[in-house]
Amino acid sequence: MTTFDLRSPDGRTQRTGTLTGPGTLAPGPASEPGVQSYEVRLTPAPSALPGEASAGAVTLRWTWPAEEAITLWRATQDSRRNLPTDWGSHCEIRSVRSAPVAALVDAQDRALLTISLSASVRVCDFAVGVNEETAEQLIELTVTDVEDEAFTLRIDTRPRHFAEALRGVTDEWTAELGNRIAAVPEVARTAMYSTWYSDHQHVSAESVERHARAGAAYGCTAVIVDDGWQTDDTRRGYAYCGDWEPTSQTFPDMAEHVRRVHELGQRYVLWLAPPLIGVHSKAWDRLKDRTLGFADGEVTAVLDPRYPEVREHLVECCVRPVRDWGVDGLKLDFIDSWARDDVPPAPDGDCTSVDEGVERFLQDVTDELRRLRADVLIEFRQDYVHPRLWQFGTFLRAGDCALDPVENRVRTVDCRLLAGDRAVHSDMLLWHPQASVENVAQQFIGALFSTPQVSMELDALSPEHEQVVRHWLGFMRDHADTLLHGVLLPSRADARYTQVRAVGTSETVVAVFANPVVRVSDPCTLVVNGGADGRIYVEGAEDRPVELVVSDCAGVEVNRTTTTPTGLWAIDVPVGGVARIVRI
C-alpha cells in the first residue's frame, strides 16, 4: 500500500489517501494552485488466457469533507442528481460508456471537489459517495484497463462554478490527446433532419428524399437515415442486423438515391449498429462463434471485437456506404452494447480487452473513412461520452428522450459540459400535430444550447407550427456563435438546470426554466422564457436606460420600449418568447 497527501487551497483541510494493488504513485506537475495530480503506473500482470484483460488493478481511496454539497455531477446519462451513499455510488466507466469524472456541487453552483482520471483510462469503477460513519465523502477509484499502463489522477478542490471546473478537466483531456482528436466539420454544428421519429423502420428512399427536400427549405443541412434501410422487418427488432445491405424493396438503388439527396443540397448520414448481429443475417453462420452473448432474447448477439475477423467484417460494412454509395457519414449506434460484464475468454483474439478491440475497430474504420473523405461525419450517442472517443466521433447526440424538452435540456447541457470542442446535438425534436405553438417552441428551447435535430413531417406542418419552427431554427442559427461557442454556465445541477446562460463575445443568452429571476450585466442579453409563467424578473439593469424588445414564441414582436428600470424589474414575456435587453 502507498499513501499520498491531499490538501485544500487554504491548507485547512488535509487528508491522506491510499493506493493499493500492483502499481506505483508519484506526484504529478502542479498545473494550478488548488489542483493536485498524481501519476500512477500499473505493474502489468499476465492474463489468465490470451484475449482476456490484464489482471492488474489499482484502487485509489480517500475521504473528503463536503458538507455544503447538495448533488454529485456525473457523466452518466441517467444520473439521479442526488448525493449517493458510498455503497450505492459505484459506476463502471468504460471507453464506450460514461467518463472518469465527478464533481460535488453546492447550491451556489460551486464545485467543492472535482475528481477526474486521464483519458488513458479505458475501464474503471468510479465511486464517490457519502460515508455514513464519518459524514464525509468517500472516493474509491479502481482502475483495471489503461492504455500504456499509466494514468493521472487529478483533484481540484477550488470552489468555483462547476462548469468551469469541468472545463478544466476537458482542457486536460484535450492537452493529453492532442492531435489524436478528430476534427469537427463545420456542417456538424448545423441543423439536421432525422428519420427516426417520423418514419421509424418504415423509412424508404422516397420518404428520405421527401424529408431532405423539406428539411432544406427549413435550413437543415443533412438528413440522417435511421434504422430500417437495411431490413424489410418493421417490428423494431434487430434479428436482421449484421450484413448492412440496403433492402431492395424500399431502397432499390442506394447510390442513385444518395445522389438525388445530394442534388437537394443535403449531406447524407446513414445509421448502423456495428456491435449487433442477428440470427437471420447472412453473416451469422460465419461469426456466431465470435460473439459476447445475446443482447435481444436469442435473436440478436453482440459481436466480439477482440477477433480480427470481426473487425474486418465491421470495417467493410462501415466503409461500403461511403465508398460505394457516396454517403457523407455514419450514425454509429449501440456502441455501449460492448460494455458487457463477464465476457467469455477470446483465446484466438489479438486484444487484451473488449475495450481495446472496440478502439482498434473504430480507429481502423475512421482511418479508412477519412482517407475516402476528410470531412466525414460520425455521430455517437450519449452515453458514450468518454474522451477516448474524441478520436473518432465528430458529433454527439443526446440520448433518446422523445417529446421531453426537460430531459433534452439536461442531456444536451450535460454533454456540452464534458464535450470540449465536440459538436453536441439534441435528441430528435418531436411534438404532437395538434400541440400548442408554445409547446412546439418549448421543444426547441429545451435544445437551445445544442445543434437541433428535427424529426417531424415538415411539409405537413400547420401554418402556425411552421412559423414557430422557422423562427426557432433561425434563432438558433443566428445566435449559434453564442449558443454553441459561448461560455456555458448552467444553474442548479441538482434541480435539472433552472437557468442556462451562454456568454458570447457580443451578447449573452439566458434560458429561464424554473427560476424567473435573471441577473443581467452585459450590454446585450437575450432572455428566453422556457418556463410556464409569462413574467420574468430582471435584476442588475436598474438606473440605466435600456431598450426592451419582446417577441412571442413565433418571433412576432409584442412589445418595444425604452425605459430606465428601478429595483427588481418585472417583464411580461410570453411563454416560449424572448426578451432582448440592450443597454443604451
CATH number at residue 373: 3.20.20.70
Question: In this structure, is residue 403 part of a structural domain?
Answer: no
Query: How many separate helices (H) and strands (E) can be counted in the chain?
Result: 11, 34
52-86 pLDDT tens trace: 445 579 999 999 999 999 999 999 877 678 999 99
Please check whether residues 391 and 497 belong to one and the same domain: no
Final residue of a domain: which of 180, 208, 232?
180
DSSP 251: -
What is the SS3 string spanning 384-407? Answer: CCCHHHHHCCCEEECCCCCCCHHH
CB 566 within 8 Å of CB 543: yes
Which pLDDT belongs to residue 31? 67
Residues of the chain with pLDDT under 50: 48-53
Final residue of a domain: which of 180, 199, 227?
180
Q: Which domain holds residue 220?
A: 186-275+305-397
The grid coordinates listed for 55 are 489482471
Question: In this structure, is residue 229 part of a structural domain?
Answer: yes
The grid coordinates listed for 80 are 439521479
28-52 pLDDT tens trace: 987 678 899 999 999 876 554 444 4
DSSP 281: S
User: Whole-model pTM?
Assistant: 0.96
Say how many C-beta atoms besides its own lie within 10 A of residue 127's C-beta: 22
Which pLDDT belongs to residue 467? 98
Which pLDDT belongs to residue 256? 98
Q: How many whole angstroms separate alpha carbon 163 and alpha carbon 101?
A: 13
Question: In this structure, is residue 411 part of a structural domain?
Answer: no
Which pLDDT belongs to residue 45? 63
Question: In this structure, is residue 426 part of a structural domain?
Answer: no
Domain count, the chain: 3
Bridge partners of 296?
Answer: 300
Residues with Cβ within 8 Å of 474's Cβ and at least 6 positions away in sequence, in order, are: 219, 555
Please check whether residues 271 and 170 belong to one and the same domain: no
Output the DSSP codes for 47-115. -SSTTSPPS--EEEEEEE--TTEEEEEES-TT--SS--BGGG--EEEBTTBS-SEEEEEETTSEEEEEE
Element (H, E) at 250: none
Final residue of a domain: which of 163, 180, 197?
180
The grid coordinates listed for 565 are 428600470
Please check whether residues 211 and 346 belong to one and the same domain: yes
Q: How many whole angstroms separate alpha carbon 80 and alpha carbon 265?
A: 42
Please check whether residues 208 and 89 belong to one and the same domain: no
Which pLDDT belongs to residue 290? 97
Angle ∠(196,187,554) on CA atoms, nearest 5:
65
Which pLDDT belongs to residue 234? 75
Which pLDDT belongs to residue 48? 45
- The closest of 416, 258, 230, 263 to 333, measured between CA atoms, is 230
Say how many C-beta atoms besides its own lie within 10 A of residue 537's C-beta: 15
